[in-house]
Structure 1
């Protein structure tokens, strides 16, 4: 009989409770429930005194193992710098992350205190401004952080070229003309970004689309979910919020304007970074398409089939924003 090698296993909740109890000095008994299964597994953990935590169990992605060492170091730096973030909880031995063994290999875990506050609104400009302000505070603090040994570099190879190859290799986009359109748009976008030459580099959150935050009683946006972060383009970090307002049929540039106002209240944006952020909307969308394409063998081609229809959005965005500079 042949054994099947798993791509992705889901631990039993009881095993996760035992794992956390073994590694963390929490008041037990603990209760644990799975909140989300996907790019990561996320669990709500409740201690004996009703204290609430979130435990994130990373999944190995096409880009490689999770970079929890740099991520958690950056989170501690931000917390110590006064930036509102969900900082990791140290283990019994003082580490900021742990590793467990799953059938498919090692998986890294990080425990966070659960954030109070509400989910940001899709229409409240105040929430958008709060997101912009926190991202600016993050970038200010990043100037004194050294990401030595960071596994991810949020450059065009990581964000654009490798994701495009994953789309192509997945076979999801069967139409040769659509594949050609994607490659042509990607090439034009890369050329335009490289032409700026002096874009600001920083340590990026990497996924600041407006909902990886909670709005606390003071009106601050408290950030979480930094596992897509790394050293890279500041313009890309800005662009993710804009992308979230205009992709998948949405159109809310007023929220983008409020986000930018909040950012600029703390930190200026150079003209090149602002202009490049509009180009990076295309990069962000292709990055997401590549992430999903890389999971086709796990989630199934039907689940990720939407990526074959996204060339239209990219062409429309490119034409509307840069028609005078396309050729």
Structure 2
């Protein structure tokens, strides 16, 4: 065989990564490594008798090196300002980024500190109060900085109009669904004309604040992680993504609308004790949910063939459009 045939997405060997990372970070020789999640970035967990770590390996098609370096910078700033986050570790040479010459080309990886605790889906008042407080504290930092390297920007062009342009071929045989998405996108933009957006807080959003991305320890301390989507935008985007946790629970009949309003209200009250929101910011939160779901529909479209997954079949696409209609019904008033 003259050469190894190229691949568009390889999965790096956990055994080989273990040997590399033990050497690169002087970890205990007993450290184990196993693949935890295979996705647009692959996640491995490393553990020994006293320590745990998370190693994330990115695909160049999804995350460029300068974007990864921006995330490293952001997390170190957050940590330095007293925010509890899973943060990048440096190797024995003082480097954050490990590079691997994989079949598809260079892959970049980061070793992170482990977020102690566990995911809690049934959040009680003490969890919601702590979460509101901690996200507000995080926003106090992210609203005052400018990173040296680029991160995505969340605006109507990047979350509505470009996604719809890119998605149009996918909807060739679902024209009514595409027409609905185009119409509601314009309604969102029109709705924002009613708000004084000059008063909206702006900075770096996590943009994926679901309970799967923060752990509570036994003392209810929170550690945030998975800043893959972190980018610039209205900070209320983070409140909107957390509202989606309740939205999905409502869709699955796991919580009532009344309980959603109570719990999300508890969270907002705790948040505003640290960072007050304007009336227009509070009113705008639900409409950003439309942008979030259209943005992720394009994300699934862009990354479908690398997930080896059932995403983005016509049935799945129609399900997502129906979900956006349900969001509109529950939270929006056009």
TM-score normalised per structure 1: 0.88
Residues of 1 paired with 2:146 and 2:51: CA distance?
A: 33
Pairs within 5 Å for 1:135-150: 135-150=135-150
The unaligned stretches of length 5 or more in structure 2 are none
Retained in 2: the 8 A contact 1:23–1:92? yes
| Structure 1 vs Structure 2 CA RMSD | 2.5
Residue 274 in structure 1 maps to residue 274 in structure 2: no
Q: Report what 1:238 is aligned to.
A: 239
Residue 184 in structure 1 maps to residue 183 in structure 2: yes
Write 1 or 2 for the structure with the bigger share of helix.
2
C-alpha deviations, 1:73-99, integer Å up to 9, x for none? 111111111111112111222223322
Residues of 1 paired with 2:159 and 2:63: CA distance?
A: 10
Q: Report what 1:193 is aligned to.
A: 192
C-alpha deviations, 1:286-309, integer Å up to 9, x for none? 122221122222345733332322
How many residue pairs get aligned? The number is 322
User: What's the secondary structure of 1:218's corresponding residue?
Assistant: coil
C-alpha deviations, 1:248-291, integer Å up to 9, x for none? 71553333222212211222112222111111111111122221
The unaligned stretches of length 5 or more in structure 1 are none
Pairing partner for 2:318 from 300, 308, 326: 308
Aligned-pair distance for 1:194?
5.5
Aligned-pair distance for 1:191?
3.2
Residue 129 in structure 1 maps to residue 129 in structure 2: yes
Pairs within 5 Å for 1:95-174: 95-169=95-169, 171=170, 174=173
Pairs within 5 Å for 1:1-327: 5-47=6-48, 49-61=49-61, 67-169=67-169, 171=170, 174-193=173-192, 196=195, 197-198=197-198, 199-247=200-248, 249-250=251-252, 252-299=260-307, 302-305=310-313, 306-323=316-333, 326=334
Distance 1:73 1:186, change over 3 A: same
Residues of 2 paired with 1:131 and 1:38: CA distance?
A: 27
Aligned-pair distance for 1:230?
1.6
